[in-house]
Structure 1
Amino acid sequence: MFEFAVDLTAQEVLRQAQVLAVLGPDWDPVEVMRQEEAAYALLYSGLDAGQQRVYDDLVAAGVLPRRGDGRAAA
């Protein structure tokens, strides 16, 4: 038996550099998160009573994250 180890540090640094290069200098992670939250608010807005129950069940089961007061946006 012998110990086998691979140091992926250089490969990980290269991967991160490539990802950031593709994203470009104008990428704003805070704005991306803000837009994502707005999209979720829109997605779960205007639910009827049955849809709201399903939404509440999914939140209670941990499938969907709790947002605000736990109710879908009206």
Structure 2
Amino acid sequence: MSWNTQTVLRIKDWRARGFSVGLASHGIGTARAFQVNPTAGAYAGIAMALNALLTSLIVPVLVRWLI
């Protein structure tokens, strides 16, 4: 989710903004979040790490279930 979209939706909490940017984008979005606000950058990094962890745990189970 881009910063402009979050502004239009009136999302003001930097934790929510950073978390959504970390989930929707990758390293470049996380780096930009750190430039905008340190709290947003931290939450973007957490979101990116959690996304990677959960994906690596869930995808093998889904692949076995689908095949």
| TM-score category, normalised to shorter length | 0.3 to 0.5
TM-score between the two structures when normalised by the length of structure 1: 0.32
Larger Rg: 1
TM-score between the two structures when normalised by the length of structure 2: 0.34
